[in-house]
Amino acid sequence: AFCVAQDFDFFYFVQQWPGSYCDTDQGCCYPSNGKPASDFGIHGLWPTNNDGSYPSNCDSSNPFDISKISDLVSRMEQDWPSLACPSSSGTTFWSHEWEKHGTCSESILDQHGYFKSALDLKDNLDLLQILQSAGIQAGGGSYSLSSIKNAIESAIGSTPWIECNTDGSGNSQLYQIYICVDASASNIIECPVMQTGKCSSSVQFPSF
């Protein structure tokens, strides 16, 4: 294969609810610098094609290099914490996301641009506030999937995709929110294709 950046059509910008990542049989570990804020955190910015397929691991010659994003690290620690075990500073997660996904949009965004774009998208998209304003709070209660989707759609003008996972008792809970953005990673767009996977019609929103 040649070292050519692959094409893609748009990004999924994916945020995770830490309470739902932690509230599973597998559990979680807080980052080495302590419990993250009670807020959605970034999972990733994933180049995807209009038919739902996606490129991955596009350029092994361009590995994650934290020195390229040293000015962004404090924002990353705040907005892109890793909850996987064992506890880490986040660099393993960021490195995985860059190498699997970021290298597939490197013709458009270099490492600094990739991470800065994700951070800026999050700054302009306060999902927790959007949900709170619609009366949807992270307190262990349940809400209809459609009320969650409608609240976000009314606020941002495009339909999100909701991914659920299940807690130890088998309850469907709000795990990740997918927002589609254009290939420049700056404008929210209507999703060309949605994900698959089930939520119950009523989903829990655990506290964190």
Tokens of 114: 């990739």
Minimum separation from the CB atom of position 12 to ligand 5GP (A): 5
Query: What are the angstrom distances between the C-alpha of 151 and each of 21, 120, 134?
Result: 22, 21, 6
Question: Is 101 a residue of the active site?
Answer: yes
Minimum separation from the CB atom of position 144 to ligand 5GP (A): 10
Pair 153, 186: CB distance under 8 Å: no
What's the per-residue H, E or C state across 23-59?
CCCCCCCCCCCCCCCCCCEEEEEEEECCCCCCCCCCC
Decide whether 46 or 72 has the Cβ nearer to ligand 5GP. Answer: 46
Decide whether 62 or 95 has the Cβ nearer to ligand 5GP. Answer: 95
Site residues for ligand 5GP per CB under 6 A: 12, 16, 21, 43-44, 46-48, 54, 82-84, 93, 96, 100-101, 145, 149, 161-162, 164, 195, 197-199
Catalytic-role residue among 99, 101, 106, 163: 101
Backbone phi and psi for residue 66, each to the nearest 5 degrees, phi listed first: -65, -25
Minimum separation from the CB atom of position 41 to ligand 5GP (A): 7
Residue 143 host element (H or E): strand 142-144
Decide whether 48 or 204 has the Cβ nearer to ligand 5GP. Answer: 48
Decide whether 72 or 179 has the Cβ nearer to ligand 5GP. Answer: 179
Question: Is 112 a residue of the active site?
Answer: no
* R_g (Cα) of the chain, nearest Å: 17
Nearest to 98 by CA among 62, 150, 130: 62
Minimum separation from the CB atom of position 56 to ligand 5GP (A): 7
Vertex 189 angle, CA 21 and 173, to 5°: 20
Question: Is 99 a residue of the active site?
Answer: no
Place of tokens 């597998």: 26
Residue 91 host element (H or E): helix 91-100
Minimum separation from the CB atom of position 7 to ligand 5GP (A): 13
Decide whether 60 or 198 has the Cβ nearer to ligand 5GP. Answer: 198
Residues annotated as catalytic are: 43, 97, 101
